[in-house]
Amino acid sequence: MIEDTPLWDESVNETVRDGVGPLVPLFELLTHLGDGALLLVTGVLIYWFGGRRSPRERAFVIAVGTAALALSAGMKGVIQIPRPTLAFAAVDYPGYTFPSAHAMGSAAFYGAIAVTMKRGRLGWRLAGAAVLVAIIALSRVVIGVHYPGDVLVGAVLGFGLVGIGLWVRQEGLFDPGAMFALATVISLVAVALGSRVFVSLTIGASAGGMVGWHLVRGRTTTTSGAAILVVGGIGLLGLVTLRTISSVVGAPGVGSPPSELLFIGEVLGYAILTALVLLAPAIAVRVEDHAMVRSIQQTLPFRGRIVEPAGFELETDD
């Protein structure tokens, strides 16, 4: 059992925490750089408001992140190792410990950004991503919610997914659809092996991404950042509605439908929302000439579809 090895020893967490001493509060803040919500929002913003000539690379970042979500959730649900029981860890921290989703997700996300960005040298970008992932991984050990082995395996698998994407590109098949397809396969295998951790989300997002990229590939996209903002706002409202309905319908004592119907509904909902995320720049073409959209474009700091200051966009030549 891996729990019996030094990398899954709670005393190592205590030693590491004692070693960083007064920097513990800083690590408690830095750990949020690997939060799934932050990575998701950042990836979507990069895709929506990046230059029009790099949709494949920007969609690849989302696809790799989706694959990391599917793999981490699937492994957690199959292996089911309890989290450390340390006095300084958060009480009743949810989920299983292996592997670390923060480490895997940040390695996949920041690694994908590093290999697809156009600015600076690739070596420096990869080094920056590695340092950032190391900090996030260390923070998970410091705050006591993961063993060192959890974050090590998570980071290796996350960077491994980026490596798979690069190999696919070298073979002339560099396409986000391939990574979304891989994520779909991972999700289905995890379910077949008995995982029940975020399965509706991972299956829906993976399949929706695969279909969405197929539909948007090669289509004309808007030059208006405001148009994307309006379409994206509608999609955000749909996500909130889906989560609300799922919570209410799935709550005990509410007369919920059979769990199979709820599961299918959630899968379809996440699939549609993910597809719409990828389709948003193309859908936005239909509303870019609307008076309200033009007003927003003139009011907010948009340069075409790019927001000023430039921030994380992968290219700025619309």
Distance of CA 309 to the CA centre of its chain: 24
The boundaries of the domain holding residue 64 are 7-307
Q: Provide mean pLDDT across the span 180-197.
A: 92
Residue 155 predicted with pLDDT over 90: yes
Parallel/antiparallel/unpaired status of strands 306-307 and 302-303: antiparallel
* Amino acid letter for position 82: P
Nearby residues of 235 by Cβ (< 8 Å), 6 or more positions away? 273, 276, 277, 280
* Amino acid letter for position 174: F
Cα–Cα distance, 117 to 57 (Å, whole number):
8
In a domain, 40, yes or no: yes
In a domain, 316, yes or no: no
Give the DSSP H or E segment for 307: strand 306-307
Nearby residues of 134 by Cβ (< 8 Å), 6 or more positions away? 155
Question: Which of the four pLDDT bands, split at 50, 70 and 90, describes residue 31?
Answer: very high
Distance of CA 58 to the CA centre of its chain: 13
In a domain, 114, yes or no: yes
Domains of the chain: total: 1
* The residue to which tokens 């996030």 are assigned: 136
In a domain, 314, yes or no: no
In a domain, 312, yes or no: no
- pLDDT value at position 312? 42
Could you say which DSSP state residue 4 is in?
Answer: G
- pLDDT value at position 88? 80
* Amino acid letter for position 112: A
In a domain, 288, yes or no: yes
What does each C-alpha distance from 182 to 149, 209, 296 come to in angstroms?
A: 25, 11, 38
- pLDDT value at position 33? 94
Give the DSSP H or E segment for 303: strand 302-303
In a domain, 175, yes or no: yes
Q: What confidence tens digit (pLDDT) does each residue in 237-258 have?
A: 776 776 676 666 554 444 444 5
Residue 7 predicted with pLDDT over 90: no
Residue 99 predicted with pLDDT over 90: yes
DSSP letter for each residue of 113-144: HHHH--SS-HHHHHHHHHHHHHHHHHHHHHTT
* Nearest C-alpha neighbor of 73 from the set 93, 91, 100, 92: 100
Nearby residues of 25 by Cβ (< 8 Å), 6 or more positions away? none
Per-chain mean pLDDT for the chain = 84
- Give Rg (Cα) of the chain: 20
Cα–Cα distance, 231 to 233 (Å, whole number):
5
In a domain, 200, yes or no: yes
- pLDDT value at position 85? 85
